[in-house]
Structure 1
Amino acid sequence: MEKDIRLLYNDACAQVIDIILPIQVHEFNVPITAADQPDLQDLESNYHQGGGGFWGAFVDGELVGTIALINTGHAAGAIRKMFVKKEFRGKELGLAQALLETLMEYSQKNGIRDLYLGTVPQLKAALRFYERNGFAQIAVEHLPPYFPRMAVDTLFYHLEMK
């Protein structure tokens, strides 16, 4: 089985939506549509141009996972769109870990010291994953004013990278 993490651009938007939306809606019952996520229609403007990125995890050439970074300025970034198809999750393949490590390496090389993310309580395994990777839950009022909040998010995490 061949694994690969690489940057994604606008030619992958349809594939990205095909992975993310079913996980959000069918698996975790998050009330969200593709129209609610216009960033997914233009990865380059929303992620790459500001100094962030959008990465995909591939197994045998199939896109099976995503992670994105918005460079918010202030030596900080917001993690978005961290999803892995159900049948490709877990420590065996380690795709979520590889995606996060790719984003963290990119962040460090590009002067980003603080990472923030928002999520929802339904994603229990994701919450444990972030905590295992050193993220600490923070109250919404402790988010920096430049953090781009998503309406559906109710839990927030922060990681200060050394």
Structure 2
Amino acid sequence: MEKVRIEKFSKEYQDEVIDLILDIQQKEFSIPIRKEDQPDLSDIPNFYQTQGGNFWIAVDDQQVVGTIALIDIGNHQGALRKMFVKTEYRGKTFNTAKLLLSALLSWASDHHMQEIFLGTTEKFLAAHRFYEKNKFAQIPKEHLPRAFPLMKVDTRFYKLML
């Protein structure tokens, strides 16, 4: 079995990334969101891989099994977005989420970010536990920076001090 590796997003993985994210959002969690509601997914390089941000994928045997993105929102702050891991790659066996988060935090630190914020939905209970285990603190929506990119499905918010 090949080890999951983390790499920066490249165009060749575009369709796989979209399929993975939509499959988790729509089928696993019944969130009524479509590709058209997420224009960032059709233009990952220009949306995420510019101005201090980036987008990473977890790959196993040439298959995308996870994603994570970071947007530089200014003021030494970043927004964690699009963290999704295929069901069978969750947990300690592959450590996919931890590997993705480590890549993001390393990048954020190298780019002099001091705080990372994220929004998620109430349905992602395992994600809440993961973020809390990794030292993210839940915060009220009112404590988000003004530049934070709010998604309409997000109802729970976290902050991590670097």
Fold conserved (TM > 0.5)? Answer: yes
Structure 1: gaps of 5 or more residues: none
Deviation digits for residues 23-64 of structure 1, max 9, x if unmatched?
001101111000000000011110011211000001122111
Structure 1-normalised TM-score? 0.97
Determine the structure 2 residue equivalent to 1:34.
Answer: 35
- Do the aligned residues in 1 keep the contact of 2:118 with 2:157 (CA within 8 Å)? yes
Taking only aligned residues, the RMSD between alpha carbons, in angstroms, comes to 0.8
Runs of 4+ residues over 4 Å off in structure 1: none
Bigger drift between 43-52 and 121-130 goes to 43-52
Deviation digits for residues 69-94 of structure 1, max 9, x if unmatched?
01111101000000011111111110
- Do the aligned residues in 1 keep the contact of 2:90 with 2:96 (CA within 8 Å)? yes
Determine the structure 1 residue equivalent to 2:73.
Answer: 72
| Letter paired with 1:13 | Q
Determine the structure 1 residue equivalent to 2:54.
Answer: 53
Identity across the alignment (%): 48
SS in 1 for 2:14: helix
Q: Count the aligned residue pairs.
A: 161
Distance in 2 (alpha carbons) for counterparts of 1:102 and 1:76: 16
Distance in 2 (alpha carbons) for counterparts of 1:148 and 1:13: 22
Determine the structure 1 residue equivalent to 2:116.
Answer: 115
Distance in 2 (alpha carbons) for counterparts of 1:135 and 1:147: 16
Once the two structures are TM-superposed, the CA of residue 115 in structure 1 deviates from its matched residue by 0.2
Alignment of 1:1-162 (within 5 A): 1-2=1-2, 3-161=4-162
| Letter paired with 1:80 | R
- Do the aligned residues in 2 keep the contact of 1:10 with 1:41 (CA within 8 Å)? no
Deviation digits for residues 77-135 of structure 1, max 9, x if unmatched?
00000001111111111000000011000000011110000000110000000000000
Distance in 2 (alpha carbons) for counterparts of 1:151 and 1:131: 22
SS in 1 for 2:113: coil
Structure 2: gaps of 5 or more residues: none
Distance in 2 (alpha carbons) for counterparts of 1:74 and 1:13: 30
- Do the aligned residues in 1 keep the contact of 2:13 with 2:64 (CA within 8 Å)? no
Distance in 2 (alpha carbons) for counterparts of 1:51 and 1:44: 12
Structure 2-normalised TM-score? 0.97
- Do the aligned residues in 1 keep the contact of 2:71 with 2:79 (CA within 8 Å)? yes
Distance in 1 (alpha carbons) for counterparts of 2:87 and 2:103: 20
Distance in 2 (alpha carbons) for counterparts of 1:42 and 1:9: 11
| Letter paired with 2:151 | M
